[in-house]
Each structure stands twice: as C-alpha cells, then as structure tokens.
Structure 1
Amino acid sequence: MNLVIIKNNLKEALGVVERATSENANLPILKNVWLGGVGGAIRLVATNLEIAISTTVPGKVIEEGNITVPAAVLRELVSNLPSERVSLEVKGGGLSIQTDNYHATIQGLPTEDFPIVPKIKDGNQYVRMKSGPLKDALTQVVVSAQFSELRPELNSVLWDFKIDEIKIAATDSFRLSEKSIPAGQFETNQTESSRMLIPLRTAQELTRILPEDEEVEIKKDASQVLFRTEQTELISRLVDGNFPDYGAIVPKDFETQVSLSRQELLNALRLAGVFSSRVNEVRIRIPENKKNIEVFSVDQTVGENNYLLPAKIQGKAREISFNWRYLTDGLKAIKTDEVFWGLNEENRPALLKSPKEASYFYVLMPILKA
C-alpha cells in the first residue's frame, strides 16, 4: 500500500471512525483502525463488534493495499505532523508515515485478523432524508435515554416508522422525549409500519458524525441498521427489547399552564443549581393570577437562591420540585425563544414544548416530597 493524503483530511476521517474502536484484551485488534487504498479511494474502518463505522477520504492511491494500526497512536501522530502532505506506505509489518522533514513507523496488525463488517440482509427497503433534520431529531431525544444493562430498552432510541411520519423517542423512566418527522421530510419505498430500537451509543455517534446537509439513507434487517451518507457508513446492531408504551403517560390536559422565556428560565435554573441539594432539586412556585414564577433552591451548607421570572400563567397556583439538570436538558432541546410548560399534581408528569412547533415535546416527572 502506498497513499498520499492531506493531513487534515486524514485527521477528520480518524475523528469519524476512532470512537468505534474498543479496548478489548481478548481482541486487541479492535483498538486498531483499518486503513487502505481500494478502487482509487482511501478508506478507514473501525469497529467494536456492536458498531462499525467506515469513511472514505480524497487522496492519491499509488498502490492498493491495507493495514490496521492503533487508532489513538495514528490520531496523535497525525494531529502533530508539521506538514500538510503525508505519505502512508506499508513496509514489513508497519505503516510508514512520511512528510518532507519527518518519518515514523507504526507497528500494525494484519487486516486478515480484522473483524468482517456485516452487511444488511434483504436491504431493498430504505428511508432517505436530509442528514440535518435527522441529526437534530436525534440530538433532541438522546438526552432522555440512559445507559442501562438491566433495561436495554432504556439504553436505546425508538425509531417508529409509519408511512406518513417517523417518531423518534427515548426515555429513562423519569423523562421522555419525542420528535416527529413528517412525510414531507423523507422519502421511502416501505409500505408497512415498522419499529426498531437503536442503541443509545449508536444514536450519540450519529449526532456526532452526520453532516449538516447531505442525504442519508437508512436500511435495516431483523438485527442491524445501516446509516449511509456520501462518504460514511455506520452499521449497528439493534436492541432486542420492547420500548415502553408511553402514549398514556404523555399529558394532554394541564391544571396549570405557563408560558415564558426559554433563555430566562435556563439562566434561573443554572443559578438555582449552585444552591441545589445533592439530588439537584429546585422548587418552582407558581402563584395564581400573577405575572411571575419563582425558582427557589436551598442547600444547608451553601445557602439559598430565589429568582423571579416574568411569565404568562393560567390555572391553579402550584408549588412543585424538579431536577434542574433534567429541566435544563429539555429546555436546551427546544429551539424557540418562548416555551410552554404544562403542569399538574406533583405525582403526574409535566410537559415542555414550543408553543410554535408541535413536532417535539419533553415530559418530566417532578420530584416527590419525602
């Protein structure tokens, strides 16, 4: 193998694939990235056996071939190279890296030992959409998922496909996010509804590697899903489980309705967080027929905090506690200046959404009084 590539192109490609690598004492090659020149293109691949990411980058293929080398070592070296033009050549069992005034050799492992990246079976059905809206949707919902080995459905993101709509949702049992993508924003040849559970880590990687404005194609089979853009592919195992039937817990009616500035509420919560207890509790006081809400927090060892916020209030007066970090996550996912906050009793969930955008909502349970 003999390749010539621009440093920044190689660095960006490594950034895409590297987080799919894994430290595994039984399979040390999983910490390596597969690097090769194939069919006139330079390709990088990494996998941890749950996720595989591959990407192609522009460059010159003088001689085809391939090798695997430790991803972290290659990334650290490339990041600090003094020259933009880099030559990569397999010599013996190592990768020779050379610029005008620099040379190094990284010991590699043969590609024959690298795991075979699986293919989607019967992958004729597809969904296609712009990558930007998908990236935004995943970013909005992953905040509600939870890494959990005991409940894999909480360690996942629901992809609920219907002909006229795709719903993407996540929950950790304390909160729930849902984003709807209407049919006008995607095209498909699927004729039947379907569901799949995408691992949380896969969804998080997609928010990181998806470009802002390319087409992304999604295909799946019984156990895997593929996301493909012009240069990059991510294939992942699916979660085997049943996502909670959450429709009944999403509140439709509210005893108290509040409309206020999203940014002002975010600022109030950040200040309250300085004085909140170990469970991140803040108290929300909503008077009846008033024009302000109060955000209150106290910590016996730090002090107390009280913040008045202008708001439009309808319905009953209420005093209720929330985890301020969870509230902040929901507010960050909403993109409009104003936010609607619907509340009921403290043993029932509250709902945050934009008053102008019906495609996203965030449901959060209050903290019950001891």
Structure 2
Amino acid sequence: MKLVVIKSNFKTGLGAIERVSGEGLNLPILKNVLIEASDNAIRLTATNLEVATSYRVPGKVIENGKASVPLRVLSDVITNLQSERLNLEKKENSVEIKTENYSATLQGLSADDFPLVPKIKNQKTFLEMSGGVLKEALAQVISSAQPSELRPELSSVLFCFSFESVKLVATDSFRLSEKTIPESQIKTNHEKEFKILIPLKTAQELMRILKEEESVGIYHNENQILFKTENFELISRLIEGNFPDYSAIIPKAFHAEITVNREEFIQALRLTGVFSTRANEVRVLAHENKKNIEIFSTDQALGENTYVLPAKNHGKTKEANFNLRYLLDGLRALKTEDAFLGMNEDNKPALLKAPGDASFFYILMPILKT
C-alpha cells in the first residue's frame, strides 16, 4: 500500500470514525484503524464489533493494499503535523508516514486480522432523507433514551416506517419523545411498513457525524442497519425486543393548558432550579384566572424561591411537580418561540409540544407529592 493524501482530508476521515474504535476492549485490533487503498479510493474503518464506521478519503493511490495501525496514535500524529501533503506506505505490518520534514513508523497488526464488517446485501430497497432532517429528529428524541443493560429497549430509538411518515421514538419510562418526519421529506421504494430498534450509542454517533446538506440512505435486514452518505457509512446491529406500547398514555385532553415563551421558561427554570440541587424538583402552578404561571423550588438547607412568568392559561387552576432536568430537556427539544404545556392529575403524564405543530411531542410524568 502506498498513497498520498492531504492532511485536512485525512484528519476529517479519522475524526469521523475514531469514537467507534474499541478503546478499553480486550482485543488490540479493535483499537486500530483499517486503511484500505484501491483504485484511487482510500477508506478508513473502525469498529467495536457492535458498530462499524468507514469514511472515504480523497487521495492518490500509488499502490493498492491495506494496513491496520493504532487509530489514536495515527490521529495524534496527523493532528500535529504542519505539512498538508502526506505520504503513507505500508512496510510489512507497519506504516511509514513522511512529509518534507518529518517521518514516522507506526507499528501495526496484520490487516487480515481486522474484523470483517457486516454487509447488507440488498441495497435496492432503500429509505432516503436529508442528513439535516434525520439529525434534527434524532436530536429531539435522544435525550429520552437511557443506557440500560436490563431493558435494552429503553437504550434505543424506535425507528417506525409507514407509508405516511417515519417516526422516531425514545423513552426511559419516565418521559417519552416522538418525532414524525412526513412523507414529503423522505424517498423510499419500501413496499412494507416496519419497526426496528436502533441502539442509543448508534443514534448518538449518527447524530454527531451527519451533515445538514448531505443525503443519507438507510438500509436494513433482520439484524443490522446501514446509514450511507456519499463518503460515510455506519453499520450497526439492531436491538432485539419490543418497544413499549405508548399509544394509551398520550394525553388527549388537559385540566390546565399553558402557552409560554419557550426561552423565558427555560431561563426561569434555570434560575429557580438553583434551589433544587438535592431533589432536582420544581413546581409549576397555573392559575385559572391569571395571565402568568408560578415556578417554585425549595431546599431545606438552601432556602426557596418563586418566579412569576407571563403565560396564557386555559382551564382550571393546577400545579404539578416535575424533574427539573426532564422538563428542561423537553423544552430544549422544541424549535419554536412558544411552548405548550398540558397538565392533568398528578398520576397522569403532562405533555410538551410546540403550539400548532403536531410533528413532535414530549411526555413526562409529574413527581407525586409526598
């Protein structure tokens, strides 16, 4: 293997895949990057056996071949080089890096020992959308998922395809987010509807690497899912199991309905939350005949505070206690100027959404009063 690349391009490729490498795992080869060069195509690949990512780097291939070297060391070297033109050449199981004033030899392992990355053979059946659309949808729901070995379905994002839309859903059993991507924003030739569970870490990695302007193709089989752009591929195992049936818990009506400026609500919660350090709990009070809400928090050691925030109230007087972080996560997931909060009995979920926007909602359970 012998090739010439531009530093900035190579650095971008390494940055795209490095978080997937198997740092901390017992197999040394998983800490490596696989460099493959053939027919003027240079591809970098990393894997942790559950997720694999690869990135195509432009460059000149002088001699075809492949090599496997420690990803972290290679990335550190490339980052600190001053030269833009890099020459890489494989010598047995090592790789030589040369510029006009620098040379290094990286000891590696046999490229033949690098794990085989699974392939999805049928790429004729596809689903396609803008990278920006998928990235924003993931960002809106991902905070509701939670790492869990006992309940892997809670450590996932439900990807639900129908002929009218794609829905992304996540829950940790205390709150739930659902984002609907309409038919107008997707392209597909699927003839069957399907539901699959994407691991949380896969969703996080995908959200990190997707770019607004690029198109992403989505392919899957029974065990894996592939996300593919012009230069980047991510393939991941799917989670087995059943996502909780949440349709029955979506509130249809509310005792109290609040419409408030979203950013002002966030700032008010941040301020009142200073006094909720132990319990991480705030109380929201909506009055039937007032044009404001009260946000209250208290701590026996610190004291208490109340914030009065202008709002449009409809319905009865109602108060509820919420987990501060959960409430903030829901508000941050909204993309509009105003936020709608609907509240019911203490043992029934509340709902956050953008007024007039049915594409996203966020359900959270109040904290029962003691």
Letter in 2 for 1:278: R
In the other structure, the counterpart of 1:176 is 176
In the TM superposition, what is the alpha-carbon distance from 1:74 to its structure 2 partner? 1.3
Deviation for aligned residue 1:104: 1.6
State the alpha-carbon separation in 2 of the partners of residues 195 and 62 from structure 1: 45
Paired residue for 1:46?
Answer: 46
1:275 counterpart letter in structure 2: F
Secondary structure of the 2:347 match is: coil
Taking the aligned partners of 2:28 and 2:282, their CA distance within structure 1 comes to: 47
Does the residue aligned with 2:258 lie in a helix, a strand or coil?
strand
Between the aligned partners of 2:62 and 2:39, the Cα distance in structure 1 is 11
Deviation of 1:11 after TM superposition, in Å, equals 1.3
Q: What root-mean-square deviation, in Å, do the aligned CA atoms of Structure 1 and Structure 2 show?
A: 1.2
> Residue 97 and residue 301 in structure 1: after superposition, are their counterparts in 2 closer, same or farther (change >3 A)?
farther
Q: Is the 8 A contact 2:320 2:343 kept in 1?
A: no
For 1:230 and 1:60, locate their aligned partners in 2 and report how far apart those are by CA, in whole Å: 18
Counterpart Cα distance in 1 of 2:47 and 2:198: 16
In 2, the alpha carbon distance for the partners of 1:339 and 1:6 equals 47
SS in 1 for 2:230: coil
1:138 maps onto 2:135 in alignment: no
Spell out the pairing of 1:58-77 with structure 2 (5 A cutoff): 58-77=58-77
CA deviation after TM superposition for structure 1 residue 24, in Å = 5.0
Deviates more, 1:44-53 or 1:19-28: 19-28
**Count of aligned positions:** 370
CA shift at 1:202, angstroms? 0.6
Q: Is contact 1:275–1:299 with CA below 8 Å preserved after alignment? A: yes
2:340 is matched with which residue? 340
Q: Which residue of 2 aligns with 1:127?
A: 127
Number of the residue aligned with 1:238:
238
Structure 2 distance, partners of 1:71, 1:269, is: 42
Corresponding residue for residue 162 of structure 1: 162
Native 8 Å contact 1:18 1:71 kept in 2: yes
Give, in angstroms, the shift of residue 159 of structure 1: 0.7
Equivalent residues of 2:272, 2:296 under 8 A apart:
yes
Deviations 1:33-85 (A, max 9, x none): 11121221111001111101011011111222111111111111211112222
The 1:302–1:7 alpha-carbon spacing in structure 2 relative to 1, beyond 3 Å, is farther
Q: 1:70-219 to 2 correspondence within 5 Å?
A: 70-219=70-219
- Is residue 2:248 matched to residue 1:283? no
Q: Which runs of 5+ in 2 are unaligned?
A: none
Question: Are the aligned partners of 1:160 and 1:196 in contact in 2 as well (CA < 8 Å)?
Answer: yes
SS at match of 1:243: coil
User: Offset of 1:95 from its aligned partner?
Assistant: 1.5
**AA at the equivalent of 1:279:** A
User: For the residues of structure 2 that align with 1:121 and 1:273, how far apart are their CA atoms?
Assistant: 52
Distance 1:68 1:290 in 2: 67
- Residue segments in structure 1 that go unaligned for 5+ positions in a row: none
Give the match's secondary structure for 1:56: strand
Secondary structure in 2 matching 1:154: helix
In structure 2, what is the Cα distance between the partners aligned to 1:328 and 1:342? 15
